[in-house]
Structure 1
């Protein structure tokens, strides 16, 4: 089971190039914050700018 998890994770990250991997934490934080009602999109703005700057 553990090997399958690592293989799935590796296959999901394979299409990401160097910039995509570097911007991944910013994108994940942004997507997570956007779930929060009312203030989510405003709180995610710096993380959107971070991922845009890396790309």
Structure 2
């Protein structure tokens, strides 16, 4: 029981920035940016999504 509590105490700061929640938006954005010519324009909504979740 105490090991679980210690693990949660150390894991909490890592999850505090909501980076885990924003990861799907960032991954989708990176995939869209690989498309030639229109990739950066198409990725704009996913960039905004990630920035809103994890500024």
TM-score (structure 1 length as normaliser)? 0.68
Please list every run of 5 or more consecutive structure 1 residues that lacks an aligned counterpart in the other structure. Answer: 1-13
Structure 1 runs of 4+ aligned residues shifted over 4 Å read none
How many residue pairs match? The answer is: 41
**TM-score normalised by the chain length of structure 2:** 0.68
RMSD: 1.5
Larger radius of gyration: 2
Unmatched segments (≥5 aa) in structure 2: 1-10
